[in-house]
Structure 1
């Protein structure tokens, strides 16, 4: 994750005590699935500033499942306004397609799976993964 964030990659990882250490408290059961959570750190100054003030945010995608990616706040408002209390408006996204989603739940076994190829090509993801396998990292 150190090698890809911030950027256009979403990593699906196993849930565990590390998540509880972030302070999610009773929300742990409601974040992600029973076993996993998707993490994204966008390369976006407004979002970075917001998370500097709030800490990590648990959010959903900005488009209904199966629909095209939302790349402007007007897309989010037109599709989801009836389900939202607020929308952070900051113009066009710096990405024209959604993030590349990588399943990392078996990373300890030496494998990852590209669930959806998005703004970061799958070949680049695999190159980063091969480089990371040869490095030593400490775990929280």
Structure 2
């Protein structure tokens, strides 16, 4: 039976983190707090675990989950052809609410879904998430909600939607932003075929991005939710 562990209590934090690590290692799902909204997480390198995540949310392979990392330096192990502009964005906005789509390292043995050779990466700004990521390595993480429902901003809200599909829930308090991360696509830019596009508006604004990217940021043509 899945349980919520209160990470503000030292004893529950230790127990919850230990059980979360074991759950990830066994290919099970855990819910973690992030700075944006709560996320449901799985071992990024276990195709079965990623499939379990997609099924828990009611999603298909056409909606691959992003990958959360413990630090920006991990990006080089997951992605290739990383432009200097992206590294500047990482320095400015990570840890934080910016998800960046890049060309995936072709040597990695993983299956996140229909990614077309890309990976979406982010470093979250939440101590509980970062502690778990430091111990497990990169995790495939999507918002902790059923597809079409509002993203959960509390562990209890995530439990209401996902229930026993998730093995461990880590309660890190109410999500401070309550708004999803901004998603940008840098793959065309890395190939010299275009600029960086905003795919989803979120925590980091277009104005903030343009301050760093200048004309490398493509004009808005409508974003997806």
Range into which the TM-score falls when normalised by the shorter chain? 0.7 to 0.9
Report the structure, 1 or 2, having the larger strand content: 2
RMSD over equivalenced CA pairs, Å: 2.4
1:70-109 to 2 correspondences below 5 Å: 70-108=152-190, 109=192
**Structure (1 or 2) with the larger CA radius of gyration:** 2
Give the distance between the partners of 1:13 and 1:32, measured in 2 at CA: 14
8 Å contact kept, 1:32–1:38: no
Distance of aligned partners of 1:55 and 1:32 in 2 relative to their CA distance in 1, 3 Å threshold:
farther
How far did 1:114 drift? 0.8
Aligned residue number for residue 147 of structure 2: 65
Per-residue deviation, residues 56-89 of structure 1 (Å, max 9, x unmatched): 2122222233332221111211111242122221
8 Å contact kept, 2:195–2:216: no
How far did 1:43 drift? 0.6
Give the distance between the partners of 2:167 and 2:118, measured in 1 at CA: 26
Name the count of aligned residue pairs. Answer: 126
Aligned residue number for residue 58 of structure 2: none
Distance of aligned partners of 1:132 and 1:56 in 2 relative to their CA distance in 1, 3 Å threshold:
farther
Aligned residue number for residue 112 of structure 1: 196
Give the distance between the partners of 2:114 and 2:92, measured in 1 at CA: 23
Out of 111, 114, 117, the position equivalent to 1:29 is: 111
TM-score calculated relative to the size of structure 1: 0.76
Unpaired runs of at least 5, structure 1: 134-140
